[in-house]
Amino acid sequence: MSEPQTTITEEPKSQAPPDYQQSSPEQYPIQAPPMMQQGQPMMQQGQPMMQQGQPIMTQPGQPMMQQGQPMMMQQGQMAPMHSQTTSNTNVVMINQQPVTARAAPREWSTGLCGCFDDCGTCWYSVFCHKNVLCEISQRLGEGRCFVCCCPFPLLSLRIKFRAQQNIKGSLCNDHLTVQYCYLCALCQLAREIDHVQRIQRVN
């Protein structure tokens, strides 16, 4: 018996069009994907690669933004608000003035008719009451001319001295005393000034 013969048929090769030129690997090199450094975000396909210091590419119609500049918000968008807490502390300084307790008014050291306590001043006031009044005015810091200028010098000096030394009395009482007991009021004022000066010298 004769062995069957096997026939090998070759498939017809597809013919390229006459204008087709086969591209070589040198003409269209394959670009390798960019290598990302450690710590940098990965770049998705289709996005441009951004280097540090270069402007960020935005969508068409939007302004370009450089690194470090605030983001420009489109119309109708709200920028994120950062709430800041500010505490104002008002310091109020209160200056308290020292309160001095005022002593109770005191009495005259000698009475209105105590002429015998200082007979020298009493006789001097009887014969030279103008000189005594001028000396009292000078001792109280008003000068001798005050007696000639003021219409009621003894009344004014008595009121001033009584207010300074916190002595009991009133304006009405001073006026009546000077009006009806002029020489007694003059001697009493002279004796009181001597009494106060003696206390000041001791202290």
**Confidence class of residue 103 from pLDDT cuts 50, 70 and 90?**
confident
- Could you tell me what percent of the chain has a pLDDT over 90? 35
pLDDT tens-digit readout, 31-75 = 555 555 555 555 555 555 555 555 555 555 555 555 555 555 555
Domains of the chain, residue spans: 119-202
pLDDT at residue 50, as a whole number:
53
Give CA angle at 114 (110, 116), nearest 5°. Answer: 125
Average pLDDT, the chain: 74
Query: How far apart are the C-alpha atoms of 117 and 121, rounded to whole Å?
Result: 9
pLDDT at residue 115, as a whole number:
83
Q: Residue 73: which residues within 8 A CB-CB, separation 6 or more?
A: 79
